[in-house]
Amino acid sequence: MTRRRFLVTSFLILPQVELAGSFFELKIFAATRELETTPSCGGADGVTPQQTAGPFFKPRSPERKSLLEADIRGSRIILEGLVRSTKCQPIHNALIDFWQADANGDYDNSGFRLRGYQLTDGAGRYRLDTIVPGVYPGRTRHIHVRVQAPNGPLLTTQLYFPGETENRRDGIFNPKLLMAVNDSANVKAASFDFVLR
């Protein structure tokens, strides 16, 4: 839930908390105001955590927003989000380089299948069209990514899928790197916002 949506939801709920009385409402209101003064992407806590690149990163991936190819099998997923600074400013032309396993849990180490980079648009947005990666022994389901603002430090990390039983057993899994995934539609829709130091 984004902070803005939380605020909106809070205000929508307020009139219905009649039983709790106005004192309770005031407390919720005060807490909401407190949250409002803290930018959702600010502070050390808001920075997207680093993770290992693992053994399968390859430099010089092709520039593309879709990793789909005619013979790639799997469940399609569209991942979208923003790249922002700790001051909540969207970052234009941030480089985002994705690499992932195929539906069988295999990486392409000879070519560039399921690998590609893109640059964020003027609003700091990116959009990746791909498939849900398969799992491989020892790891939960994940997508690798490197993110870098122009002239900024390199962030290497991984994105995770909610509701995976292996998340609990994976030693490097970090819940701060969970994507929001909506799979009610034909094509899964995922979102994740990066915050760069």
Burial of 12 (0-12, 13-18, 19+ CB in 10 A): exposed
Rounded to the nearest whole angstrom, what is the least distance from the CB of residue 73 to Fe ion in the complex?
19
Indicate the residue among 39 and 54 with the shorter CB distance to Fe ion: 54
End-to-end CA distance of the chain: 22
State yes or no: residue 134 binds Fe ion (CB under 5 A). no
The 3-state secondary structure of 146-165 reads EEECCCCCEEEEEEECCCCH
State yes or no: residue 54 binds Fe ion (CB under 5 A). yes
Indicate the residue among 42 and 54 with the shorter CB distance to Fe ion: 54
Rounded to the nearest whole angstrom, what is the least distance from the CB of residue 159 to Fe ion in the complex?
11
Rounded to the nearest whole angstrom, what is the least distance from the CB of residue 112 to Fe ion in the complex?
16
The interface region with Fe ion, picked from 9-17, 30-38, 49-57, 175-183 by CB under 5 A, is 49-57
Give me the residues paired with residue 158 across strands: 144
Indicate the residue among 101 and 149 with the shorter CB distance to Fe ion: 101
Rounded to the nearest whole angstrom, what is the least distance from the CB of residue 98 to Fe ion in the complex?
11
State yes or no: residue 74 binds Fe ion (CB under 5 A). no
Handedness of CA 166, 169, 172, 173 (dihedral sign): positive
Say how many C-beta atoms besides its own lie within 10 A of residue 194's C-beta.
24
